[in-house]
Amino acid sequence: MAGSGSPQVVMPPAPPDESRPGAVRKTQAIADALIQLGEHADPRRVAEAIRAQAGIDLDPGEVAEVIATMRERAKIPPGPDQPPPENARGTSQGK
């Protein structure tokens, strides 16, 4: 991902040595600011809050990208590709 121009979005808790500590701190700071400001806060307000509280200078565009990634990862995963076979579905009627 390095060199692609887009920030690395890391979802804490990250296993040791899997992610850069700076990326984890940025993602955690954004999550904390969203808790404080509300999940639909403007990325500019989130960036300002992070700068004031954590001393991390983030571009609102980077904040928006991290928020979008966080929302995407928070979605409920899709179900299985195929439904289970009919004979695998049991009944709870004690037959």
In the numeric block, which tokens belong to residue 36? 């404080």
The H or E element that residue 40 is part of is none
Enter the pTM of the model.
Answer: 0.64
Higher pLDDT, 78 or 52: 52
- Do 9 and 27 meet the contact criterion of CB atoms below 8 Å apart? yes
Please, which pLDDT band fits residue 1 given cuts at 50, 70 and 90? very low
pLDDT tens profile 15-72: 666 677 788 899 999 999 999 999 999 999 999 999 999 999 999 999 999 999 988 8
- Do 10 and 24 meet the contact criterion of CB atoms below 8 Å apart? yes
Q: How many CB atoms lie within 10 A of CB 46?
A: 25
User: DSSP label at 2?
Assistant: T
What are the sequence ranges of the domains in the chain?
21-74
Q: What is the pLDDT of residue 37?
A: 96
